[in-house]
Amino acid sequence: MAKAFFIIDVQNDFCEGGSLACAGGAQVASDISRFLRSFDANGEANSSFDYVIASRDWHDADNDNGGHFAQAGEAPDFVNSWPVHCVAGSVGGEYHQNLDVSLIDFHIQKGQGKPAYSIFEGRTPEGEALPDLLLRLGVTEIEIGGIATDYCVLASALDAKNVGLKVSVRTELCAGVAAESSVAARSKMAAAGVEVK
């Protein structure tokens, strides 16, 4: 039985200066890196986790990704449609520079051609679906940090709980789109049996 840490969407477009920025995103990138190194005197990855798995929105550049991107000339509603963000291969789609990518064991890409919020909707670059990867690794417990509390962190935590994993979310390692919806997300996660730290 293995334990994993999920880093959710700590990407340039979701941090300050990005096209869909969350306040505190850059700090979350730094804090996650510090947290994952914090229990190892040699500066190596946190020994309390067997694996670190990071997701990224990795949207197509040549379409609206199933309505996820607002159409040209239309304002996004910030519920179902959003500004263009995290396009595959773009600077905005890359991990934020404050995140130490050497700590990541597996990368998950999601949202290619369609909306995707949960890490469970993604695959490795080699095409392995996340549930298959977790089964192969024997992961039964996860902790989560990342962006955004009220969207992709929420969706990922609920999906993890739904497949029978033991799940906790470290709120000090998360940033949200808005304060009110982040509070609601924490309540929803707790009601679903997620440990909200």
Instruction: Report pLDDT digits (tens) over 134-187.
Output: 999 999 999 999 999 999 999 999 999 999 999 999 999 999 999 999 999 999
- Please count the CA atoms within 13 angstroms of the CA of 98 that sit on its side-chain side: 19
Q: Which of 110, 150, 159, 174 is catalytic?
A: 110
Domain ranges of the chain: 2-196
pLDDT tier for residue 82 given thresholds of 50, 70 and 90: confident
118-153 burial by CB neighbour count: b if 16+ within 10 A, else e? bbbbbbeeeeeebeebbeeeebeebbbbbbbbbbbb
Q: Which of 42-46, 57-61, 65-69, 77-81 has the highest mean pLDDT?
A: 57-61
With the CA atoms of 31, 34, 37 and 43 taken in that order, what torsion angle do they form, in degrees rounded to the nearest 10?
160
Q: Which of 86, 152, 159, 174 is catalytic?
A: 152
Homologous superfamily in CATH for domain 2-196: Isochorismatase-like (3.40.50.850)
| 105 carries an active-site annotation | no
| 174 carries an active-site annotation | no
Return the amino acid letter for 154: L
Lowest mean pLDDT among 63-77, 84-98, 111-125, 172-186: 63-77
| 13 carries an active-site annotation | no
Which tokens go with 180? 């009110």
Q: Is the pLDDT of residue 43 over 80?
A: no
Q: What is the mean pLDDT of the chain?
A: 92
Q: Tokens 């969350």 identify what position?
A: 22
The pTM for the full model equals 0.91
Cα 56–chain centre separation? 6
Q: Which of 9, 13, 31, 159 is catalytic?
A: 9
